[in-house]
Amino acid sequence: MDLSPFDTEQIGIKTLEKSLIKTKSERSLKIGLPKETSNDERRISLTPGGVSILAANGHEILVEKNAGINAHFSDKEYQEAGATISYSAEELFSQSEMIVKVAPPTHKELQWMQPNQILLSALHLGHTTKEFIHTILEKGICGIGYEFIKSEDSEFPIVRMMHEITGSMSVQIASHYLENSSNGQGIMLGGISGIPPATVAILGAGITGEYAARTALGYGAQVFVMDNDLAMLRRLENALDRRIITATANHQYLSTAMEFADVVIGAAMTEGERAPCWVTDPMVQSMKPGSVIVDTVIDQGGCISTSVPTTHSNPIFKKYDVVHYCVPNIPSNVARTATHALSNVIVPYLVDLGEAGGIEGCLWKNTALRNGAYTYKKNLTKKSLANQFDMPFRDIEVLIASQI
């Protein structure tokens, strides 16, 4: 088979299709893909290629009209892949056994959800409310959160994909807001001969921090990475051939870095928990006028005290003469790439769900989805959420084993 070198988008899909198209699943599922309506969300969880795999496995896919339009997937493509187009969001929710979406359900969508449905979506820990959790529990919905899905190798596959995109995009965004046209300092990240490059301080040595560092180095910037996990800093130094400068994220080093940085990328977080706040107001106040902060963990609460969530339609604000970009869903701005990334990870889970004959069997066999479940059989199953909202919880493995 001849593949154009420019046809990179299709390579992963063809590989995925080859490995996943099987005989009919043990159980056919009705899976609903609603159109995203919140916070300028442009992604959709499944591509037409992903839908074709699920349809080949005997599942029925309902796609709301124009659900993929912002990621440049047409209704016709979904229909040709085997989906049925639904012209009413409320009808789609009422007819589906499982809802697969990107953002958490809105208040209206939550009212449309049916008792005992399965919900696969992000949870956005920084903005989840006790009322949301109560409604999910009362309806007996099995909630599986993208942030919690962890495979046997301790990787968070969906989070990792989105963090790779977010890290790369954060530096691209910062570069734009340093330009005069954006009322920035009017400097280049990489500098030129005889003129030193800009300084980029990255808070957090995780996946987002790594891809931000890789991109910033690609621009030619001087890159500092700070974290309190020395093992992660060593790993990143080795991965990037010691082209970065690392430091522990204590008050002294953070204060110094903020004074000199032209760009600060906030990427400090712990998976499944709210982001730690490392940067104080006085630190931001000490930054150079026209410098740029991109807080990539704002959906987890943010790691910079001055950060407030913004949207793609109104992405920035200034405080202490520092530009703040705090959009929770950065990958949404490259919706087609992000949708392919989501679909490649999600489709195998949905195939496994059908092969296992339902959610109970699948949660027992599939470590990643079991880790991802935060509500099951009207029980909260995540200790971090229980602590956050002062609610009781029960371990998911105990619930499954006792067949409650």
What are the pLDDT digits (tens) for 310-335? 988 899 999 999 999 999 889 999 99
Band of residue 40 on the pLDDT scale cut at 50, 70, 90: confident
pLDDT of residue 236: 95
Band of residue 148 on the pLDDT scale cut at 50, 70, 90: very high
- Please check whether residue 305 is in contact with residue 277, taking contact to mean a CB–CB distance below 8 angstroms: yes
Q: Answer yes or no: same fold for 18-155+334-401 and 159-327.
A: yes
The residue extents of the domains of the chain are: 18-155+334-401, 159-327
For the chain, percent of residues with pLDDT exceeding 70: 92
- Please check whether residue 285 is in contact with residue 320, taking contact to mean a CB–CB distance below 8 angstroms: yes
d(Cα 219, Cα 190) in Å, to the nearest integer?
5
| Catalytic-role residue among 163, 295, 299, 340 | 299
Tell me: the pLDDT tens digits for 171-195? 999 999 999 988 888 999 998 899 9
Instruction: Select from 197, 201, 207, 191 the least CA-distant residue to 284.
Output: 201
In which residue are the tokens 């084993």 written?
A: 401
pTM for this model (two decimals): 0.83
pLDDT of residue 299: 82
pLDDT of residue 71: 95
- Please check whether residue 239 is in contact with residue 264, taking contact to mean a CB–CB distance below 8 angstroms: no
Whether 5 has a pLDDT exceeding 60, the answer reads no
Band of residue 402 on the pLDDT scale cut at 50, 70, 90: confident
Q: What is the mean pLDDT of residues 124-151?
A: 90
Tell me: the pLDDT tens digits for 276-295? 899 999 999 999 999 999 99
Q: Does domain 18-155+334-401 have CATH number 3.40.50.720?
A: yes
Distances (CA, A) of 254 to 135, 159, 212, 233: 41, 26, 18, 15
Whether 24 has a pLDDT exceeding 70, the answer reads no
| Catalytic-role residue among 59, 124, 163, 324 | 124
pLDDT of residue 14: 53
Band of residue 18 on the pLDDT scale cut at 50, 70, 90: very low
- In the residue annotation, 124 being an active-site residue is answered as yes
If residue 105 lies in a helix (H) or strand (E), which one and from where to where?
none
- In the residue annotation, 281 being an active-site residue is answered as no
159-327 to CATH, choices 3.30.750.24, 3.20.20.70, 3.40.50.720, 1.10.10.10: 3.40.50.720
Band of residue 72 on the pLDDT scale cut at 50, 70, 90: very high
pLDDT of residue 9: 58
Both structure tokens of 256: 């110094």
SS3 state at 317:
strand
pLDDT of residue 123: 87
Band of residue 134 on the pLDDT scale cut at 50, 70, 90: very high
